[in-house]
């Protein structure tokens, strides 16, 4: 020891602490690295990403290498400081205690906390560089790692702890995927982010949530006679119309308006039977059917329009392929002027919004940033009737959470017009 210069001993101590810091920083960076980004880089043949994924596929060996190296380095640093203390101050117990405390402090600050914070702050950058050093070291230390893991597996087996690659493969849930999209920040364009979030919502809503209610369904009644049928055909807004006879629950088919208009130009006298011959069978959907499931059914059955019925077979409304597509990417059609699902409503300068009672709650939540419950009534009228437990015969106001809801007009046993007053800043209806 006397032949070794003091500066060499100090330099050796610094090197040991730096090496320990490297392993601590590499461990944190590798564990915190975004595996999806690494896989993306690996597909582009990034060598660092490929090496990093190779190491992460062998987590048990990787952690063994890092912990063995860290333990040896920390033990060597402690022994070196103890030797320096004995060399200069002799075998004083107080000196050895102080030397141990000093080296512990140095290791905690410079070889543990600081490098791990750096590794967690820049995980991908550090992991890509550190992996090129760790892979050769893992190859060299393979016999030592195997010997240590032999005892580790014995301990784990004694404790009945299962290990293996399948234990570490966790599938990402829809909620986790949603969080990934939300945290995408500026990396994902806002429109793309909105579409992705809407796709996740398709799993949680039914066709009843996006249907056109039966009161707003444009349909053709064969019982009205030929003249009335002609008038309705020339003024309708849709290319396909549900056709019923007598009352809406007696759906007899779907009429393609273009074919019917071509029939109007014929010189022969028209009868109801001529229109009946043009009908195609109606496609019925249970109201509890999920939207994503219905999208698949539309594709499999080559349908674009379905009549929604309840458990008693009564018509509740209709849904089209366009409705589902709009639920994913936003509205792009205005098939019926003034329809409740149009994007024409919003808060005015006074923080108020005038709405029809038939406006769907989902649309209100999206347009106005509110949070009306969606597990009960589907429309604003339904929500008010549920809260009031009665049909109001005069204007009335309610304050639900922080949102004031004012009934403006009631007609035909339904609330026709409602005014909403925007909640104060920072308050949200729940």
Give the tens place of pLDDT for each residue, 98-138.
Answer: 888 888 898 999 989 999 999 999 999 999 999 999 999 99
Q: What's the rounded Cα separation, in Å, for the pair 320 and 285?
A: 11
- Domain closes at, from 114, 144, 168: 168
User: Do residues 254 and 357 both lie within one domain?
Assistant: no
Mean of the pLDDT values across residues 67-95?
A: 84
Tokens representing 405 are 């809801």
Q: How many residues does the chain have?
A: 430
Q: What's the rounded Cα separation, in Å, for the pair 321 and 303?
A: 8
Strand segments, DSSP code E, in 289-413 are 305-309, 315-320, 352-356, 397-400, 403-411
Q: What's the rounded Cα separation, in Å, for the pair 82 and 102?
A: 10
pTM for the full model? 0.61
User: Do residues 36 and 158 both lie within one domain?
Assistant: yes
Does some domain include residue 18? yes
Buried/exposed code over 216-239 (b: 16+ C-beta within 10 A; e: otherwise): ebbbbbbeeeeeebbebbeebeee
End-to-end CA distance of the chain: 73
Does some domain include residue 161? yes
- Domain closes at, from 168, 188, 222: 168
User: Do residues 299 and 398 both lie within one domain?
Assistant: no
Does some domain include residue 202? no
User: Do residues 320 and 360 both lie within one domain?
Assistant: no
pLDDT at 333 over 70: no
pLDDT at 341 over 50: no
Structural domain that includes position 375: 352-421
Does some domain include residue 304? yes
Does some domain include residue 188? no
Q: What are phi and psi of 411, to 5 degrees?
A: -155, 140
Query: What pLDDT, on a 0 to 100 scale, did the predictor assign at position 164?
Result: 58
Buried/exposed code over 25-61 (b: 16+ C-beta within 10 A; e: otherwise): bbbbbbbbbeeeebeebbeeeeebbbbbbebbeeebb
Domains held by the chain: number: 3
Mean pLDDT of the chain: 83
Question: What Å distances lie between residue 323 and 60, 239, 294, 328, CA to CA?
Answer: 50, 15, 11, 9
Q: What DSSP character marks residue 202?
A: T
- Domain closes at, from 168, 194, 225: 168
């Amino acid at each position: 020891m006397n032949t070794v210069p003091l500066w060499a001993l100090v330099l050796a101590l610094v090197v040991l602490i730096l090496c320990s810091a490297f392993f601590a920083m590499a461990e944190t960076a590798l564990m915190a690295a975004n595996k999806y980004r690494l896989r993306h880089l690996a597909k582009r043949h990034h060598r660092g990403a490929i090496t990093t994924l190779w190491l992460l596929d062998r987590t048990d060996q990787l952690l063994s290498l890092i912990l063995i190296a860290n333990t040896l380095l920390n033990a060597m640093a402690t022994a070196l400081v103890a030797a320096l203390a004995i060399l200069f101050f002799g075998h004083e117990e107080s000196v050895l205690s102080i030397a141990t405390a000093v080296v512990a402090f140095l290791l905690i600050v410079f070889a543990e906390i600081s490098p791990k914070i750096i590794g967690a702050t820049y995980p991908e950058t550090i992991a890509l560089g550190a992996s090129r050093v760790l892979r050769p070291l893992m190859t060299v230390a393979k016999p030592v790692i195997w010997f240590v893991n032999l005892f580790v597996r014995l301990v784990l087996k004694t404790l009945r702890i299962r290990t293996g690659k399948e234990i570490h493969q966790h599938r990402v849930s829809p909620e986790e995927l949603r969080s990934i999209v939300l945290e995408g920040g500026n990396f994902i364009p806002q429109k793309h982010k909105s579409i992705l979030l809407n796709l996740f919502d398709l799993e949680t809503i039914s066709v009843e949530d996006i249907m056109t209610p039966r009161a707003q369904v444009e349909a053709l009644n064969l019982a009205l006679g030929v003249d009335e049928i002609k008038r309705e055909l020339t003024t309708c807004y849709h290319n396909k119309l549900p056709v019923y006879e007598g009352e809406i629950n007696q759906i007899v088919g779907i009429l393609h308006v273009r074919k019917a208009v071509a029939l109007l130009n014929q010189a022969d006298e028209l009868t109801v039977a001529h229109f009946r011959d043009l009908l195609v069978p109606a496609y019925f959907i249970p109201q509890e059917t999920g939207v994503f499931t219905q999208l698949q059914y539309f594709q499999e059955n080559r349908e674009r329009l379905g009549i929604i019925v309840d458990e008693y077979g009564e018509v509740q409304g209709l849904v089209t392929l366009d409705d589902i597509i709009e639920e994913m990417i936003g509205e792009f059609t205005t098939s019926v002027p003034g329809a409740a699902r149009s994007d024409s409503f919003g808060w005015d300068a006074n923080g108020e919004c005038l709405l029809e009672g038939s406006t769907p709650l989902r649309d209100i939540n999206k347009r106005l940033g509110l949070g009306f419950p969606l597990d009960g009534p589907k429309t604003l009228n339904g929500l008010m009737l549920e809260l009031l437990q009665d049909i109001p015969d005069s204007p009335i106001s309610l304050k639900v959470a922080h949102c004031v809801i004012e009934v403006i007009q009631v007609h035909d046993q339904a609330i026709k017009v409602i005014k909403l007053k925007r909640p104060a800043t920072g308050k949200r209806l729940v």
